[in-house]
């Protein structure tokens, strides 16, 4: 792990940042019937980033409301909210709390714990900074993309069905992709 300073990321500023929901997204994809992927989003989410003088001192807390799941198929979304999958009534949110940030060979990694359906497991998001800058309304913002992969079965999401042609209806690996834009609080 290499040392990093605030000057190593152009435009970096210390402070508390609030997610700009209109310019951000929380999406996922999972293998479906072996041959393709189903993609979806969580429409209702929140996140706060606290940056220190050193970018590696950054902390993140984030949450997505399970009832806001959207795969563009209402009956599937309803099924995903049930006990077969997320059990949204008992476990209304998916949460992430960072435990640290590190730089490895010029790449930034955000380590933390993700909680899905009441089960907490460590995960690491690969972070790609889009940059920092002002918007036309006087807000100072940053943009980034973060991506991780989790095994849904580790979180008790074990529903599946065998296919007549072989294989299973759903894959185990879920890719989570976050497109982030956040504003520095005044």
Inter-residue contact 71 to 85 (CB < 8 Å):
no
> For position 123, what pLDDT does the model report?
97
Q: What angle do CA 139, 145, 149 make, to 5 degrees?
A: 145
Tell me the pLDDT tens digit for each residue of 69-99. 999 989 989 988 988 888 999 999 999 999 9
pTM passes above 0.85: yes
**Sign of torsion over alpha carbons 165, 166, 170, 176:** negative
Helix (H, G, I), strand (E, B) or coil at 8: helix
Q: Cβ distance 114 to 121 under 8 Å? A: yes
Cα dihedral across residues 21, 60, 129, 172: positive or negative: negative
Domains within the chain, CATH numbers bracketed: 15-184 (2.40.128.110)
């Amino acid at each position: 792990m290499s040392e990093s300073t605030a000057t190593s990321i152009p435009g970096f500023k210390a402070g508390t940042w609030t997610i700009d929901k209109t310019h951000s997204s929380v999406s996922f994809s999972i293998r479906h019937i072996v041959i393709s992927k189903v993609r979806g989003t969580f429409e209702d989410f929140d996140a706060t980033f606290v940056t220190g003088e050193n970018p590696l001192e950054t902390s993140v807390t984030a949450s997505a409301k399970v009832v806001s799941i959207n795969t563009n198929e209402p009956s599937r979304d309803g099924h995903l909210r049930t006990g077969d999958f997320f059990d949204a009534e008992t476990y209304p949110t998916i949460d992430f709390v960072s435990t640290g940030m590190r730089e490895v060979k010029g790449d930034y990694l955000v380590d933390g714990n993700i909680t899905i359906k009441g089960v907490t497991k460590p995960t690491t998001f690969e972070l790609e900074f889009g940059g920092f800058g002002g918007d036309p309304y006087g807000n100072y913002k940053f943009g980034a993309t973060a991506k991780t992969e989790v095994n849904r079965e580790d979180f008790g999401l074990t529903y599946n069905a065998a296919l007549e042609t072989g294989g299973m209806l759903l894959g185990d690996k879920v890719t989570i992709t976050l497109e982030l834009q956040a504003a520095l609080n005044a």
